[in-house]
Amino acid sequence: MTSTQRARRAALVATALVVVAVLGAAVAGPWHPVARTGWLFTINVPQITEQPRPTETALPPHESSTGAPSWAVGLAIFVALVLLGLLGALAARAMRRWLDEHRPPEQDGADPGEAFLGDVADLALPALAQGLRDAAVAIDRDVPPGDAVIAAWIALEAAAERSGVLREPSQTATEFTVGLLDETEADPAQTRALLDLYLAARFSEHRVTDADVARARAALGALADGVRHLRHDHRESDEPDESDESDEPDEPDEPGRPDGPGATGGAS
């Protein structure tokens, strides 16, 4: 018997069983369960009471302890951070400017007592001359009189710094500039007059006027005429040359004058 035949026979048997079951159920009729007396089961079921649910209410917008909304607090924090950043940048810039102004000069092996001697002082003359020209331009600008005088003196200090002359650590920029001008043929009185106007414009409550600017301009002109030469060069040129006196030729003898004791004896 082949497998196909076995499968057909199994299908027929299953179909026959289904038909027999259906016919049996139809012949027997409906099934009714019969309750037996004397059998009682008591089950205690706990009563479950439903808890009342809390009513949901809409929450108000979140507020901080000060009563301000959260977005306002965040905005205030952002603005505060921006202001702190700006203040930090300004403080850093001011500190850098202060350090540049108070930075000590570089040290080298030169003797501070020889700062104004030799070729270094000669190199300072062009720098001072240029500084006086810059000061003349600064004082003629269309600015308040006090600002014009301050700008003129600052131009001289800048020229002294780039002159190549070593500034001593104990010297301020103003003292260094005055000392360098004093080593030239510039009139010291004009230097002090210009310095007094600068100090009054920067530190005094006295208001600088146009007349003060005219005085400062005149002082700059006088200084410009004197910075062309160093003062020690002028002193050296005024000293007499001893070698010239020693090299003067002897005066010729007068005619008929005896040259010595021997000549006198011969005449007698």
Our CA angle for 105, 107, 112, nearest 5°, is: 95
In a domain, 61, yes or no: no
Our CA angle for 191, 100, 213, nearest 5°, is: 30
Give the total number of structural domains in the chain.
1
pLDDT at site 79: 84
In a domain, 197, yes or no: yes
Average pLDDT, the chain: 74
pLDDT at site 261: 44
Kindly tell me if the per-residue pLDDT of 130 is higher than 80.
yes
The answer to whether the CB of 223 falls within 8 A of the CB of 194 is yes
In a domain, 187, yes or no: yes
Radius of gyration of the chain (CA): 58
Kindly tell me if the per-residue pLDDT of 114 is higher than 60.
no
196/144 Cα distance (integer angstroms):
17
Q: Give 178's contacts (C-beta < 8 A, 6+ positions apart).
A: 191, 192, 195
* Furthest CA-CA distance within the chain: 211
In a domain, 256, yes or no: no
154/170 Cα distance (integer angstroms):
19
The answer to whether the CB of 223 falls within 8 A of the CB of 181 is yes
Q: What tens digit of pLDDT does each residue of 45-102 get?
A: 666 766 666 666 655 555 545 556 777 788 888 888 888 888 888 888 888 888 877 6
In a domain, 172, yes or no: yes
Mean pLDDT of 30-35: 59
In a domain, 202, yes or no: yes
Q: Which domain holds residue 124?
A: 114-238
pLDDT at site 30: 59
In a domain, 227, yes or no: yes
In a domain, 71, yes or no: no
